[in-house]
Structure formats: structure tokens, C-alpha cells
A = this chain, B = another copy of it.
Amino acid sequence: MATATNQRIGRRERQRERRLELPLSKFKFRLLQNPLPPVEYLPPEQIEELHEASMQILEDIGMDFYDAEALAALEKAGARVDHKAQHAWLDRGLVMETVANAPDFFTVRARNPAHHVKIGKNFITFLPMGGMAYVSSLDMERRTGTQAHTENFIKLSQMCNMLHVGGGGLAAQDVHVSVRHLRQAYAVYTLTDKVAGGSSHGRVMPQDAINMAKIVYGDDFDGDPVLFGNVNASSPLRYDERMLGGMITFAHAKQAMIVTPFILAGAMSPISIASAMAQQNAEALAGIALIQLINPGAPVVYGGFTTNTDMKTGSPAFGTPEGAWALLVGAQLARRYHLPYRGSGSLCSSNVPDAQAAYETMWTMWPAVMAHTNVVMHSLGWLENGLTVSYEKYILDLESLAMFHHFLEGFTINKETLALDMIAEVGPGGHHFGTPHTQTRYQTEFYEPIVHSRIGYENWVVNGAQDAVQRANAIWKTLLAQYEPPYLDPGVEEGLREYAQRRERELEGIDLYTG
């Protein structure tokens, strides 16, 4: 990259930081590691019981694979396959040997090298929400997602350094489904320089994602993956054509794929969490084994999304004790196979960003972090079982991401920070506000909140008695007003635009999964 370009970027960066008067400008992009040992919820022998049960499921019950290439690959590797039923039985030797080819640690590249992420070990990577149908804010009733809202969230993902990966997470329902992925990819590459989540369902959309990534990365496309996709098993015990198409297309191109069984215990699995976890493990390993058969060494992540069904309403229940068990135990299972682990962050069932939403979110995020969840999907913004992304919840959750960064970075113990001289000097009953030790540190020592307020009650009332949601509303608006796009080579932009426009014409009205 030319020096002039670097200088231009540097100037913009400084301008942006000067203009951003929110505490957000302090938060630099940095990878996050959890230095604590992971919480091991179950003893090793119980993890083995779950492993054993999952092997029995794959050997004796088997799974559906609705894709001929998948069934052929499994059969070639020695699995018993019923092509008519599109069903395969996988013995443990096949599964374990194949899964062993998956890397335990890999890098996913962003178009800005400063935004590469590392997946595995004790690294924790925060991803934005995904797959939302509705959008809400304090200013408007919940409504269906649009391209404009999607782009707003991509912009926010670029501006929020606590978040490691870019993306909009919202289905733009004012754009025809056959071309939505093209608009989405174009928006992601032009509005953020962070790692891009790629459309990973079917064969058409992933191939478009790969083709567009090749325009962005050019000769540098090969090497560490530049796309990060997620597929779900259609639990129980089925991968459908959409998911298998995505898995196989990404595997051929060696792009990173998260394989996540979608289990609400009591509906998509037996109600007992033990059974749900055994089934999750069987499904996740089957998917990962398939990817490794297609392309040994392709980067994959063991995904967990298991929680319980609310048995009164039949709805999913997020942010529950059962969900916390599943998060923690899922991480243990992933470690059992030396696989990076994906969990979730802001999951909640509440319909509004109220106290319930916050409690449920923390019942997801705390176990996720303590479990060494390498890939935290849906780190922020969730409401209503993931149907809705809320602008205010996005900002509220951002605070908690920033707090986890600070918390896991820890504090220093040495002669200077122990400051016994200051304790002696101030003595009993005094106060430390004015000491040199405090004065040199008071602006930087503590985590300074983004949206949390500590104004005393009387002043708070005088200032309008705003609750957290009202303050969050002001913050996302200020951020969007200050947004500036990251530098993108004009030739690359043109290439992306031309590709997207051509494909839009070609795909108009075509079924992406069969066409």
C-alpha cells in the first residue's frame, strides 16, 4: 500500500477520533484472550459418557444428509449409506480419524490486516448478531429489516472496536431474496474492513461470497481463510441441502465454517439436557467430519446453540440455566476433540431491552466467556429469541463486551501499584483523591462506561431521569452520524460493484438452492 494512502488513512483516523467524543474512541481494536483456565462444568468421565452416547447415535441411528456429494464422500470414506433415504451411519473410527484433521487454531483474515482474528486456544472473538428478521429502536415500532438498517449495523460494527468481526446481521427484506446476499456482501466490503461473515447456505451464495472475496483479496486470496460462515444442523439428525451445499462449497475453498446443531431441548431433542448434549455432539461431529472428508484441514468450529424450550409456550428460552449448562459443556466437548468452539453472547427471550433482556444476556455471556468460547456469535443486539435486533440493545451489549475486555486484561501487581508509600502517607481516616498516585492515574486507571450512568439521583432527575435505553438511543445515533467508511481501493470497489450488478441480473427470480 502506498505511503500516501497510509498517510491519508492515518489522517482520517485522527480526525475521526477527535470528532468522536464518546468514550468509544478509547477502545482500540485488540484480540481478546481469557487467561483463566476454562470452567469445566462436568468431570471428564461425564464428558466421556456424552461422547460415548454420541458415537452410538452416529453408529446405530445415523443421520440424514440431503446432498449427493455429501453421501458419496461419506460412502467413499467407509460409512454405510442408504442413498434412497439419504441416510448414513458413521462409525466412530471414521468420525474420530476424520475430525482429527481439523486445525485446532487458525487465523481468519480481514481486508485490513489490523483486523485479522485468531480462532482457538484461549482467544475469544466477538461477532455481531446474525439472522434477524426485525429491527427496533426507541423511536420506532419493531418492523421488518431493510437494506438501510442492515447498512447501519454494518457501520456500527466497523466503529465498535470491542467487536472483532463486521456485519449487519439483519435480513434486508426490501431486497429480493435471490440477490440479497450480493447487496449484503457489497455493503460489508465497502462499509467495514473487518472480517466478513459470508453467506454460507446452498452452493450459489457461498460461491458468490468466494468470488467477491477473490476480487477483494486478489492474489492474496489463498492462505488463511477470509470468510467465516455458519451452518445449522436441522436437528434432530439432519443436514439439509442448503447447509450441506454451504459446508461443501466453503470446504473446497478452505474458508472457515462453524457447524452448529440447532437444538431446543424438548422439541428438537429429548427434553433431558444430557440427551440434548449427546445429540448436539453427534450432529456437530458428523458435520465437521464431512467437511474434513471434502477437504482435510479445512478450518472448522464446533458450534453449540443448545438451550431449552419453554414448555408452557413452546417458544425457545434463551438466557436460562439450561442454556448455561449447554454452553459450558459444549466447550468441554469441543476441547475433547481439539476443536475451536462457538457459543453465543447476547441471547435473550425478552421482547424489549429491559432488565429481563439484560439478565438473560448475562446468563449467556458470562458462561460463554468463562467457558473459553472461541467464537461468540450474536455478541450483541439480540431481542425476542433472535427475531429482532434492537439499536439500543446493541449499545447496551457493547458495554458488556468492553467490560469483558477490561476484566480479562487484568491488573498489575508490583511495587508501584501496591503503593505502600501512599497508604503510609495518607494514613488512617484520610482520603486518596488528591495524592500524586491518584492524580497521575485517575483518567485511565478504571474502566470508564459507555452507557452506564453513575450520576447521583438528584442530578439524574434534574437531567431528565434517562434510563439506560434512552442513553443508548443517543449513542447509536451519534455513532452513525460520525461514521466514515474505511479506505477501499477504488478498483476493488468497482470490481465488487460490477460483479454484484452482473450477478443480480443473472439471479433475479432464481431459486438459490436448486437453481
Q: Which chain B residues border A148 with CB–CB below 8 Å?
A: none
The answer to whether A237 and B428 touch across the interface, beta carbons within 8 angstroms, is: yes
Q: Which chain B residues border A469 with CB–CB below 8 Å?
A: 354-355
Given A355-B355, A359-B362, A403-B321, the answer on whether A419 and B272 have CB atoms closer than 8 Å is yes
Q: Which chain B residues border A424 with CB–CB below 8 Å?
A: 60-61
Cβ of A178 within 8 Å of any chain B Cβ, yes or no, is no
The answer to whether A443 and B311 touch across the interface, beta carbons within 8 angstroms, is: yes
Residue on B nearest A272 in the bound complex, by CB: B417
Q: Which chain B residues border A321 with CB–CB below 8 Å?
A: 403-404, 406-407, 447
CB distance from A338 to the nearest CB of B (A): 22
Cβ of A100 within 8 Å of any chain B Cβ, yes or no, is no
By the criterion of a CB under 8 Å from any partner CB, how many residues of chain A are at the interface? 123
Cβ of A379 within 8 Å of any chain B Cβ, yes or no, is no
| Segment touching B, from A7-15, A110-118, A344-352 | A344-352
The answer to whether B413 and A274 touch across the interface, beta carbons within 8 angstroms, is: yes
The answer to whether B237 and A429 touch across the interface, beta carbons within 8 angstroms, is: yes
The answer to whether B468 and A403 touch across the interface, beta carbons within 8 angstroms, is: no
The answer to whether B308 and A349 touch across the interface, beta carbons within 8 angstroms, is: no
Cβ of A25 within 8 Å of any chain B Cβ, yes or no, is no
Q: Which chain B residues border A441 with CB–CB below 8 Å?
A: 271-272
CA distance A354 to B457 in the complex (A): 14
Contact of A423 among B270, B354, B359, B363 (CB under 8 A): B270
**Interface on A for B, CB 8 Å cutoff?**
36-37, 39-42, 46, 49-50, 53, 56-57, 60-61, 63-64, 87, 142, 234, 236-238, 265-275, 278-279, 308-317, 319-322, 324-325, 349-363, 366, 370, 384-385, 387-388, 393, 396, 399-400, 403-404, 406-407, 410-414, 416-420, 422-424, 426-433, 435, 437-438, 441-443, 445-448, 451-457, 460, 465, 467-469
